[in-house]
Amino acid sequence: MKKNIVLFVLFVLPIVAYLFFASGVNSFTKLPIITPKIADFGNWKSLDGKKVSLDKKITVLGFSGSDILSNRGNYFNLNEKIYKRYHGFEDLQFVVVCPLGTENEAQKLVDALKPFTDVSGWNFVFASPDEIQAFYKQLHLKGKLDDKLGTSNVFIVDKERNLRGRKGGDKDKKDEYKEGYDTFHPSELSNEMLDDFKIILYEYRAALKKNHNATKQL
Protein backbone atom coordinates (compact mmCIF):
# COMPACT_ATOMS: atom_id res chain seq x y z
CA MET A 1 0.00 0.00 0.00
CA LYS A 2 2.78 2.42 0.95
CA LYS A 3 4.58 1.56 -2.26
CA ASN A 4 1.50 2.43 -4.31
CA ILE A 5 1.13 5.77 -2.51
CA VAL A 6 4.77 6.65 -3.18
CA LEU A 7 4.41 5.75 -6.86
CA PHE A 8 1.25 7.87 -7.07
CA VAL A 9 2.96 10.89 -5.54
CA LEU A 10 6.07 10.54 -7.69
CA PHE A 11 4.49 9.84 -11.06
CA VAL A 12 0.73 10.31 -11.23
CA LEU A 13 0.30 13.47 -9.15
CA PRO A 14 2.69 15.60 -11.26
CA ILE A 15 0.84 14.59 -14.43
CA VAL A 16 -2.52 15.48 -12.89
CA ALA A 17 -1.14 18.83 -11.74
CA TYR A 18 0.21 19.54 -15.22
CA LEU A 19 -3.13 18.77 -16.86
CA PHE A 20 -4.91 20.96 -14.34
CA PHE A 21 -2.74 23.98 -15.01
CA ALA A 22 -2.61 23.36 -18.74
CA SER A 23 -6.41 23.45 -18.87
CA GLY A 24 -6.29 27.02 -17.56
CA VAL A 25 -3.81 28.37 -20.12
CA ASN A 26 -6.44 30.36 -22.01
CA SER A 27 -7.31 32.38 -18.93
CA PHE A 28 -3.70 33.58 -18.81
CA THR A 29 -3.06 34.06 -22.52
CA LYS A 30 -5.97 36.29 -23.55
CA LEU A 31 -6.37 39.84 -22.38
CA PRO A 32 -9.99 41.01 -22.82
CA ILE A 33 -10.98 43.71 -25.30
CA ILE A 34 -12.35 46.79 -23.53
CA THR A 35 -13.10 48.80 -26.69
CA PRO A 36 -12.88 47.21 -30.16
CA LYS A 37 -11.53 48.90 -33.27
CA ILE A 38 -10.74 52.37 -31.97
CA ALA A 39 -10.05 55.13 -34.51
CA ASP A 40 -6.57 55.83 -35.83
CA PHE A 41 -4.85 59.22 -35.46
CA GLY A 42 -5.48 60.52 -38.96
CA ASN A 43 -2.95 63.13 -40.07
CA TRP A 44 -1.61 64.07 -36.64
CA LYS A 45 2.10 64.74 -36.80
CA SER A 46 4.82 63.74 -34.38
CA LEU A 47 7.82 65.77 -33.19
CA ASP A 48 9.79 64.76 -36.27
CA GLY A 49 6.88 65.57 -38.58
CA LYS A 50 6.11 61.97 -39.42
CA LYS A 51 2.70 60.33 -39.39
CA VAL A 52 2.11 57.85 -36.57
CA SER A 53 -0.45 55.05 -36.91
CA LEU A 54 -1.96 52.51 -34.52
CA ASP A 55 -2.26 49.93 -37.29
CA LYS A 56 -0.11 46.79 -37.01
CA LYS A 57 1.60 47.98 -33.84
CA ILE A 58 1.21 47.12 -30.18
CA THR A 59 0.81 50.59 -28.70
CA VAL A 60 1.17 51.96 -25.20
CA LEU A 61 -1.05 55.04 -25.50
CA GLY A 62 -0.98 58.08 -23.25
CA PHE A 63 -2.46 61.58 -23.03
CA SER A 64 -0.08 64.20 -21.70
CA GLY A 65 -2.30 67.23 -21.31
CA SER A 66 -0.72 70.66 -21.43
CA ASP A 67 1.40 70.11 -18.29
CA ILE A 68 3.92 67.73 -19.87
CA LEU A 69 6.92 68.83 -17.86
CA SER A 70 5.01 69.05 -14.59
CA ASN A 71 4.09 65.39 -15.03
CA ARG A 72 7.48 64.23 -16.35
CA GLY A 73 7.88 61.92 -13.36
CA ASN A 74 5.06 59.78 -14.76
CA TYR A 75 6.95 59.29 -18.02
CA PHE A 76 10.16 58.48 -16.19
CA ASN A 77 8.23 55.79 -14.28
CA LEU A 78 6.83 54.34 -17.50
CA ASN A 79 10.22 54.54 -19.15
CA GLU A 80 11.93 52.64 -16.34
CA LYS A 81 9.29 50.01 -15.66
CA ILE A 82 8.02 49.17 -19.18
CA TYR A 83 9.71 51.03 -22.01
CA LYS A 84 13.35 50.17 -21.30
CA ARG A 85 12.43 46.53 -20.86
CA TYR A 86 10.57 46.14 -24.18
CA HIS A 87 11.45 49.00 -26.52
CA GLY A 88 13.55 46.66 -28.67
CA PHE A 89 10.41 44.72 -29.62
CA GLU A 90 9.97 45.54 -33.33
CA ASP A 91 6.17 45.87 -33.36
CA LEU A 92 5.90 48.01 -30.23
CA GLN A 93 5.49 51.78 -29.96
CA PHE A 94 4.83 54.26 -27.17
CA VAL A 95 2.57 57.13 -28.27
CA VAL A 96 1.62 60.19 -26.24
CA VAL A 97 -1.19 62.45 -27.52
CA CYS A 98 -0.43 66.12 -26.75
CA PRO A 99 -2.25 69.42 -27.35
CA LEU A 100 -0.94 71.59 -30.16
CA GLY A 101 1.42 74.19 -28.76
CA THR A 102 3.21 71.83 -26.39
CA GLU A 103 5.85 70.70 -28.89
CA ASN A 104 8.70 72.44 -27.04
CA GLU A 105 7.75 70.83 -23.72
CA ALA A 106 7.55 67.39 -25.37
CA GLN A 107 10.97 67.88 -26.91
CA LYS A 108 12.43 68.85 -23.53
CA LEU A 109 11.02 65.63 -22.06
CA VAL A 110 12.56 63.56 -24.86
CA ASP A 111 15.87 65.35 -24.34
CA ALA A 112 15.72 64.54 -20.62
CA LEU A 113 15.25 60.83 -21.40
CA LYS A 114 18.02 60.64 -24.01
CA PRO A 115 21.06 60.39 -21.71
CA PHE A 116 20.00 56.97 -20.43
CA THR A 117 17.39 55.72 -22.93
CA ASP A 118 17.13 54.94 -26.63
CA VAL A 119 14.16 57.23 -27.30
CA SER A 120 13.45 55.95 -30.82
CA GLY A 121 10.31 54.17 -29.59
CA TRP A 122 8.79 57.26 -28.00
CA ASN A 123 6.30 59.16 -30.18
CA PHE A 124 4.59 62.41 -29.24
CA VAL A 125 1.74 63.40 -31.57
CA PHE A 126 -0.11 66.70 -31.56
CA ALA A 127 -3.76 67.59 -32.08
CA SER A 128 -6.25 70.32 -31.27
CA PRO A 129 -8.24 70.15 -28.00
CA ASP A 130 -11.41 69.23 -29.89
CA GLU A 131 -9.63 66.45 -31.77
CA ILE A 132 -8.17 65.05 -28.55
CA GLN A 133 -11.56 65.10 -26.81
CA ALA A 134 -13.25 63.40 -29.76
CA PHE A 135 -10.54 60.75 -29.99
CA TYR A 136 -10.68 60.02 -26.26
CA LYS A 137 -14.49 59.90 -26.26
CA GLN A 138 -14.58 57.09 -28.81
CA LEU A 139 -12.41 54.96 -26.52
CA HIS A 140 -15.55 54.60 -24.32
CA LEU A 141 -13.63 54.56 -21.05
CA LYS A 142 -14.87 55.12 -17.53
CA GLY A 143 -11.97 57.42 -16.70
CA LYS A 144 -11.98 60.98 -18.05
CA LEU A 145 -9.36 63.46 -19.20
CA ASP A 146 -8.66 66.31 -16.82
CA ASP A 147 -9.28 69.97 -17.68
CA LYS A 148 -5.84 70.12 -19.34
CA LEU A 149 -6.61 67.16 -21.63
CA GLY A 150 -4.39 64.75 -19.77
CA THR A 151 -4.50 61.63 -17.64
CA SER A 152 -1.86 59.74 -15.69
CA ASN A 153 -3.21 56.49 -17.14
CA VAL A 154 -1.75 54.77 -20.17
CA PHE A 155 -3.56 52.19 -22.26
CA ILE A 156 -2.65 49.06 -24.23
CA VAL A 157 -3.84 48.94 -27.84
CA ASP A 158 -3.22 45.82 -29.93
CA LYS A 159 -2.27 45.56 -33.61
CA GLU A 160 -5.92 45.51 -34.68
CA ARG A 161 -6.59 48.76 -32.75
CA ASN A 162 -8.48 47.03 -29.93
CA LEU A 163 -8.01 48.62 -26.52
CA ARG A 164 -7.20 45.82 -24.10
CA GLY A 165 -7.48 45.49 -20.33
CA ARG A 166 -9.33 43.62 -17.59
CA LYS A 167 -13.11 43.32 -17.54
CA GLY A 168 -13.36 42.00 -14.00
CA GLY A 169 -14.98 38.79 -12.86
CA ASP A 170 -11.70 36.89 -13.14
CA LYS A 171 -10.67 35.51 -9.77
CA ASP A 172 -7.09 35.14 -10.97
CA LYS A 173 -6.99 38.91 -11.48
CA LYS A 174 -8.80 39.76 -8.24
CA ASP A 175 -12.10 40.61 -9.95
CA GLU A 176 -10.63 43.92 -11.04
CA TYR A 177 -11.82 46.03 -13.95
CA LYS A 178 -8.87 47.84 -15.48
CA GLU A 179 -8.87 49.90 -18.64
CA GLY A 180 -5.59 51.76 -18.02
CA TYR A 181 -2.50 51.76 -15.84
CA ASP A 182 -1.54 54.67 -13.61
CA THR A 183 1.96 55.92 -14.39
CA PHE A 184 2.02 57.89 -11.14
CA HIS A 185 2.38 54.61 -9.24
CA PRO A 186 5.50 52.60 -10.19
CA SER A 187 4.13 49.56 -8.38
CA GLU A 188 1.09 49.44 -10.67
CA LEU A 189 3.34 49.49 -13.71
CA SER A 190 5.60 46.79 -12.25
CA ASN A 191 2.70 44.54 -11.35
CA GLU A 192 -0.63 44.94 -13.16
CA MET A 193 0.65 46.52 -16.36
CA LEU A 194 3.69 44.30 -16.69
CA ASP A 195 1.53 41.19 -16.17
CA ASP A 196 -0.98 42.28 -18.81
CA PHE A 197 1.72 43.42 -21.22
CA LYS A 198 3.36 39.99 -21.04
CA ILE A 199 0.03 38.41 -21.97
CA ILE A 200 -0.26 40.60 -25.08
CA LEU A 201 3.28 39.69 -26.16
CA TYR A 202 2.59 36.01 -25.47
CA GLU A 203 -0.53 36.16 -27.67
CA TYR A 204 1.42 37.45 -30.63
CA ARG A 205 4.37 35.15 -30.13
CA ALA A 206 1.99 32.19 -29.97
CA ALA A 207 0.23 33.40 -33.14
CA LEU A 208 3.55 33.79 -34.97
CA LYS A 209 4.63 30.33 -33.92
CA LYS A 210 1.31 28.86 -35.06
CA ASN A 211 1.53 30.60 -38.45
CA HIS A 212 5.12 29.48 -38.86
CA ASN A 213 4.19 25.86 -38.16
CA ALA A 214 1.26 26.09 -40.57
CA THR A 215 3.56 27.43 -43.28
CA LYS A 216 6.02 24.59 -42.71
CA GLN A 217 3.20 22.06 -43.05
CA LEU A 218 2.14 23.59 -46.38
Residue 9 lies in a domain: no
Q: What domain count does the chain have?
A: 1
Specify the higher pLDDT residue, 3 or 83.
83
Give the largest CA-CA distance in the chain: 80
CATH of the domain at 83: 3.40.30.10
User: 165 vs 21, 54, 191, 195, 217, CA distance in Å?
Assistant: 23, 17, 14, 11, 34
With 0.85 as the threshold, say if the pTM is over it: no
The range of the structural domain enclosing residue 58 comes to 30-217
Cβ distance 180 to 168 under 8 Å? no
Residue 55 lies in a domain: yes
Distance CA 65, CA 152 (A): 9
Of 92, 119, 89, 87, whose CA–CA distance to 106 is shortest?
A: 119
Backbone angles phi, psi at 94, to 5 degrees: -110, 120
Percent of the chain with pLDDT over 90: 71
Phi-psi region at 31: left, alpha or beta (left = phi > 0; alpha = psi -120 to 50): beta
Report residue 217's pLDDT band, with 50, 70 and 90 as the boundaries.
Answer: very low
Quick check: 15 pLDDT over 70?
no
Residue 11 lies in a domain: no
pLDDT in tens, 86-123: 988 889 999 999 999 999 999 999 999 999 999 999 99
Residue 24 lies in a domain: no
